[in-house]
Amino acid sequence: MLGRCAARALGALRGLREGAPPARSPGPSRRLLSSEKVSEKDHSLPKPCWSKDMRLLFDQFMKKCEDGSWIHLPSYEDIATQRSQDFSTFIHAYFPTASEQINKEKLSQGRIFTRSFEDGLGFEYVMFYNDAEKRIVCVFQGGPHLQGMPGFFHGGAIATMIDATVGMNAIVSGGIVMTANLNINFKRPIPLCSIVLINSQLDKIEGRKLLVSCNVQSVDEKILYTEATSLFIKLNPEKEFHIKELVLNSAPPA
Protein backbone atom coordinates (compact mmCIF):
# COMPACT_ATOMS: atom_id res chain seq x y z
CA MET A 1 0.00 0.00 0.00
CA LEU A 2 1.26 3.43 -0.83
CA GLY A 3 2.24 5.61 2.11
CA ARG A 4 0.58 9.01 2.39
CA CYS A 5 3.71 10.78 1.20
CA ALA A 6 4.14 8.47 -1.76
CA ALA A 7 0.51 8.87 -2.72
CA ARG A 8 0.80 12.64 -2.49
CA ALA A 9 4.03 12.54 -4.50
CA LEU A 10 2.34 10.52 -7.20
CA GLY A 11 -0.53 12.99 -7.12
CA ALA A 12 1.92 15.82 -7.58
CA LEU A 13 3.58 13.95 -10.42
CA ARG A 14 0.25 13.35 -12.07
CA GLY A 15 -0.42 17.06 -11.80
CA LEU A 16 2.80 17.78 -13.66
CA ARG A 17 2.04 15.16 -16.27
CA GLU A 18 -1.32 16.69 -16.91
CA GLY A 19 0.36 20.02 -17.43
CA ALA A 20 -1.11 21.51 -14.29
CA PRO A 21 0.76 24.49 -12.90
CA PRO A 22 3.14 23.77 -10.01
CA ALA A 23 1.28 23.47 -6.69
CA ARG A 24 2.81 26.71 -5.43
CA SER A 25 2.97 29.67 -7.71
CA PRO A 26 6.28 31.51 -7.69
CA GLY A 27 4.79 34.79 -6.55
CA PRO A 28 6.76 38.00 -6.29
CA SER A 29 10.26 37.69 -4.94
CA ARG A 30 10.94 39.69 -1.79
CA ARG A 31 12.72 39.47 1.52
CA LEU A 32 10.69 37.56 4.03
CA LEU A 33 9.35 39.25 7.14
CA SER A 34 10.56 37.73 10.40
CA SER A 35 7.03 36.61 11.23
CA GLU A 36 6.80 34.61 8.01
CA LYS A 37 7.88 31.03 7.82
CA VAL A 38 11.00 31.11 5.64
CA SER A 39 10.18 27.64 4.50
CA GLU A 40 7.12 28.36 2.45
CA LYS A 41 8.86 29.54 -0.64
CA ASP A 42 9.84 26.98 -3.24
CA HIS A 43 13.09 28.40 -4.60
CA SER A 44 13.10 26.06 -7.56
CA LEU A 45 10.31 28.01 -9.24
CA PRO A 46 10.94 31.04 -11.47
CA LYS A 47 11.74 34.34 -9.73
CA PRO A 48 12.27 37.84 -11.11
CA CYS A 49 16.03 37.50 -10.52
CA TRP A 50 16.23 34.59 -12.95
CA SER A 51 17.66 35.58 -16.31
CA LYS A 52 15.73 35.00 -19.51
CA ASP A 53 17.96 32.03 -20.35
CA MET A 54 17.43 30.46 -16.94
CA ARG A 55 13.68 30.82 -17.35
CA LEU A 56 13.87 29.34 -20.86
CA LEU A 57 15.76 26.29 -19.63
CA PHE A 58 13.27 25.89 -16.77
CA ASP A 59 10.40 25.93 -19.28
CA GLN A 60 12.17 23.40 -21.51
CA PHE A 61 12.69 20.99 -18.63
CA MET A 62 9.14 21.46 -17.34
CA LYS A 63 8.00 20.42 -20.82
CA LYS A 64 10.10 17.26 -20.49
CA CYS A 65 8.33 16.58 -17.18
CA GLU A 66 4.98 16.32 -18.92
CA ASP A 67 5.45 12.67 -19.96
CA GLY A 68 6.83 11.75 -16.54
CA SER A 69 10.36 10.95 -17.74
CA TRP A 70 11.75 13.95 -15.84
CA ILE A 71 10.67 15.18 -12.43
CA HIS A 72 11.01 18.72 -11.13
CA LEU A 73 12.52 18.72 -7.63
CA PRO A 74 11.15 21.37 -5.27
CA SER A 75 13.58 23.13 -2.92
CA TYR A 76 13.04 24.92 0.38
CA GLU A 77 15.30 26.82 2.75
CA ASP A 78 14.78 24.72 5.81
CA ILE A 79 15.22 20.98 5.81
CA ALA A 80 12.87 20.73 8.78
CA THR A 81 10.01 21.79 6.58
CA GLN A 82 10.61 18.96 4.19
CA ARG A 83 8.46 16.68 6.38
CA SER A 84 11.66 15.32 7.74
CA GLN A 85 11.50 15.05 11.51
CA ASP A 86 12.26 11.32 11.29
CA PHE A 87 15.12 12.15 8.98
CA SER A 88 16.72 14.58 11.48
CA THR A 89 16.16 12.17 14.35
CA PHE A 90 17.83 9.40 12.41
CA ILE A 91 20.86 11.55 11.52
CA HIS A 92 21.32 12.66 15.12
CA ALA A 93 21.02 9.09 16.36
CA TYR A 94 23.64 7.97 13.82
CA PHE A 95 26.12 10.52 15.19
CA PRO A 96 25.26 10.59 18.91
CA THR A 97 28.49 12.22 20.08
CA ALA A 98 28.43 14.89 17.41
CA SER A 99 24.74 15.41 18.01
CA GLU A 100 25.42 16.27 21.67
CA GLN A 101 27.69 19.08 20.50
CA ILE A 102 25.02 20.74 18.36
CA ASN A 103 23.86 24.06 19.75
CA LYS A 104 20.13 23.33 19.95
CA GLU A 105 19.24 27.03 20.19
CA LYS A 106 20.99 27.76 16.92
CA LEU A 107 19.44 24.72 15.27
CA SER A 108 16.18 26.55 14.66
CA GLN A 109 18.13 29.07 12.57
CA GLY A 110 19.46 26.30 10.35
CA ARG A 111 19.09 26.88 6.61
CA ILE A 112 20.17 24.86 3.62
CA PHE A 113 23.45 26.57 2.72
CA THR A 114 22.62 26.97 -0.97
CA ARG A 115 19.29 28.63 -0.08
CA SER A 116 20.63 31.10 2.43
CA PHE A 117 21.48 34.00 0.10
CA GLU A 118 19.27 36.88 -0.89
CA ASP A 119 17.50 36.27 -4.19
CA GLY A 120 19.83 36.59 -7.17
CA LEU A 121 23.05 37.16 -5.19
CA GLY A 122 24.07 33.60 -4.49
CA PHE A 123 22.85 30.23 -5.68
CA GLU A 124 19.85 30.22 -8.01
CA TYR A 125 19.14 26.75 -9.29
CA VAL A 126 16.57 24.18 -10.17
CA MET A 127 17.06 20.43 -10.42
CA PHE A 128 15.33 17.87 -12.60
CA TYR A 129 15.54 14.13 -11.97
CA ASN A 130 15.30 11.30 -14.47
CA ASP A 131 14.45 8.14 -12.54
CA ALA A 132 15.01 5.67 -15.40
CA GLU A 133 18.49 7.03 -16.08
CA LYS A 134 19.30 7.95 -12.45
CA ARG A 135 20.39 11.38 -13.59
CA ILE A 136 19.93 14.88 -12.27
CA VAL A 137 20.40 18.00 -14.32
CA CYS A 138 20.83 21.18 -12.32
CA VAL A 139 20.33 24.50 -14.07
CA PHE A 140 22.50 26.90 -12.08
CA GLN A 141 22.69 30.68 -12.23
CA GLY A 142 25.32 31.91 -9.80
CA GLY A 143 25.11 35.45 -8.43
CA PRO A 144 27.76 38.14 -7.90
CA HIS A 145 28.37 37.14 -4.26
CA LEU A 146 29.91 33.88 -5.44
CA GLN A 147 32.98 35.58 -6.85
CA GLY A 148 36.45 34.12 -6.43
CA MET A 149 39.02 35.44 -8.89
CA PRO A 150 37.67 38.75 -10.23
CA GLY A 151 34.88 38.05 -12.70
CA PHE A 152 34.75 34.32 -12.06
CA PHE A 153 33.00 31.96 -9.66
CA HIS A 154 34.74 30.88 -6.49
CA GLY A 155 35.85 27.23 -6.69
CA GLY A 156 34.17 26.56 -3.36
CA ALA A 157 30.87 27.82 -4.73
CA ILE A 158 31.21 25.47 -7.71
CA ALA A 159 32.12 22.61 -5.36
CA THR A 160 29.04 23.42 -3.25
CA MET A 161 26.70 23.24 -6.23
CA ILE A 162 28.35 20.03 -7.42
CA ASP A 163 27.96 18.48 -3.94
CA ALA A 164 24.33 19.60 -3.79
CA THR A 165 23.60 18.06 -7.20
CA VAL A 166 25.43 14.75 -6.86
CA GLY A 167 24.18 14.61 -3.25
CA MET A 168 20.58 14.99 -4.33
CA ASN A 169 21.13 12.32 -6.99
CA ALA A 170 22.48 9.95 -4.35
CA ILE A 171 19.67 10.79 -1.89
CA VAL A 172 16.92 10.30 -4.43
CA SER A 173 18.53 7.10 -5.76
CA GLY A 174 19.74 5.58 -2.51
CA GLY A 175 18.21 7.03 0.63
CA ILE A 176 20.01 8.82 3.45
CA VAL A 177 23.60 9.36 2.39
CA MET A 178 26.55 11.55 3.26
CA THR A 179 29.40 12.68 1.08
CA ALA A 180 32.51 10.65 1.91
CA ASN A 181 34.63 11.79 -1.02
CA LEU A 182 34.45 14.46 -3.70
CA ASN A 183 37.10 14.86 -6.43
CA ILE A 184 36.90 17.90 -8.66
CA ASN A 185 38.86 18.89 -11.75
CA PHE A 186 38.45 22.58 -12.51
CA LYS A 187 39.20 22.76 -16.22
CA ARG A 188 38.03 26.26 -17.19
CA PRO A 189 37.01 29.22 -15.01
CA ILE A 190 33.28 29.95 -15.03
CA PRO A 191 32.35 33.58 -15.72
CA LEU A 192 30.49 35.17 -12.83
CA CYS A 193 26.71 35.31 -13.21
CA SER A 194 26.67 32.89 -16.13
CA ILE A 195 24.26 29.98 -16.33
CA VAL A 196 25.62 26.47 -16.47
CA LEU A 197 24.28 22.94 -16.53
CA ILE A 198 25.44 20.47 -13.90
CA ASN A 199 24.87 16.96 -15.27
CA SER A 200 25.10 14.24 -12.66
CA GLN A 201 24.83 10.50 -13.10
CA LEU A 202 24.62 7.63 -10.62
CA ASP A 203 27.32 5.27 -11.91
CA LYS A 204 27.27 2.43 -9.45
CA ILE A 205 25.88 1.16 -6.16
CA GLU A 206 28.15 -1.23 -4.23
CA GLY A 207 26.53 -2.18 -0.96
CA ARG A 208 26.35 1.06 1.05
CA LYS A 209 28.49 2.98 -1.44
CA LEU A 210 27.03 5.13 -4.21
CA LEU A 211 29.33 6.47 -6.90
CA VAL A 212 28.07 9.56 -8.67
CA SER A 213 29.90 11.53 -11.36
CA CYS A 214 29.12 14.87 -12.88
CA ASN A 215 30.26 17.59 -15.22
CA VAL A 216 29.59 21.30 -15.46
CA GLN A 217 29.00 22.62 -18.95
CA SER A 218 27.97 25.79 -20.69
CA VAL A 219 24.34 25.83 -21.76
CA ASP A 220 25.32 25.25 -25.42
CA GLU A 221 27.46 22.31 -24.20
CA LYS A 222 30.49 23.73 -26.02
CA ILE A 223 32.54 24.43 -22.89
CA LEU A 224 33.37 21.79 -20.31
CA TYR A 225 34.14 23.76 -17.16
CA THR A 226 34.42 21.11 -14.47
CA GLU A 227 34.35 17.37 -13.92
CA ALA A 228 33.83 15.55 -10.65
CA THR A 229 33.46 12.11 -9.12
CA SER A 230 32.00 11.42 -5.73
CA LEU A 231 31.39 8.70 -3.18
CA PHE A 232 28.36 8.71 -0.92
CA ILE A 233 27.80 6.31 1.96
CA LYS A 234 24.31 5.17 2.72
CA LEU A 235 23.45 5.50 6.40
CA ASN A 236 20.18 3.62 6.34
CA PRO A 237 20.77 0.24 4.69
CA GLU A 238 17.97 -1.32 6.72
CA LYS A 239 15.63 1.54 7.53
CA GLU A 240 13.64 2.85 4.58
CA PHE A 241 12.59 6.48 4.68
CA HIS A 242 10.93 6.79 1.28
CA ILE A 243 13.17 9.78 0.96
CA LYS A 244 12.49 10.16 -2.74
CA GLU A 245 8.85 10.75 -1.96
CA LEU A 246 9.84 13.15 0.83
CA VAL A 247 11.93 15.19 -1.56
CA LEU A 248 9.29 15.16 -4.29
CA ASN A 249 6.51 15.98 -1.92
CA SER A 250 8.27 18.46 0.30
CA ALA A 251 5.93 21.41 -0.07
CA PRO A 252 4.70 22.63 3.30
CA PRO A 253 1.01 22.10 3.99
CA ALA A 254 -1.24 24.71 2.37
> What separation in angstroms does the CA of 185 have from each of 66, 69, 89, 159, 238?
35, 30, 35, 10, 34
Q: Contact with ligand PKZ (CB under 6 A): which of 143, 167, 174, 175?
A: 167
Catalytically annotated residues: 163
Judged by CB under 6 A, the chain residues 90 through 129 that form the site for ligand PKZ are: 112
> Which residues, in sequence order, are bridge partners of residue 230?
182, 212
Find the distance separating the first CA and the last CA of the chain, reported in whole Å: 25
Q: Quick check: 42 binds ligand PKZ (CB under 6 A)?
A: no
Nearer to ligand PKZ by Cβ, of 174 and 192: the residue is 174
Least distance to ligand PKZ, CB of residue 118, Å: 20
Q: Quick check: 198 binds ligand PKZ (CB under 6 A)?
A: no
**Could you tell me how many residues of this chain bind ligand PKZ (CB under 6 A)?**
25
- Give the CA angle between residues 166, 45, 115 to the nearest 5°: 55
Q: Quick check: 87 binds ligand PKZ (CB under 6 A)?
A: yes
Cβ neighbour number for residue 99 with a 10 Å cutoff: 14
195's enclosing H/E stretch is: strand 195-206
Q: Quick check: 209 binds ligand PKZ (CB under 6 A)?
A: yes
DSSP 61: H
Q: Quick check: 192 binds ligand PKZ (CB under 6 A)?
A: no
Q: Contact with ligand PKZ (CB under 6 A): which of 179, 194, 199, 236?
A: 179
Which residue lies nearest ligand PKZ, judged by its C-beta? 167
Least distance to ligand PKZ, CB of residue 28, Å: 25
Nearer to ligand PKZ by Cβ, of 47 and 83: the residue is 83
Least distance to ligand PKZ, CB of residue 88, Å: 9
Q: Quick check: 6 binds ligand PKZ (CB under 6 A)?
A: no
Contact partners, residue 132, CB within 8 Å, separation at least 6? 69
Would you tell me the crossing angle of helices 4-17 and 52-65 to the nearest 10 degrees?
110
Give 169's Cβ-side CA count (13 Å radius): 32
Q: Which residues bind ligand PKZ (CB under 6 A)?
A: 79, 82-84, 87, 112, 163-164, 167-168, 171, 178-181, 207-209, 231, 233, 235, 243, 246-247, 250
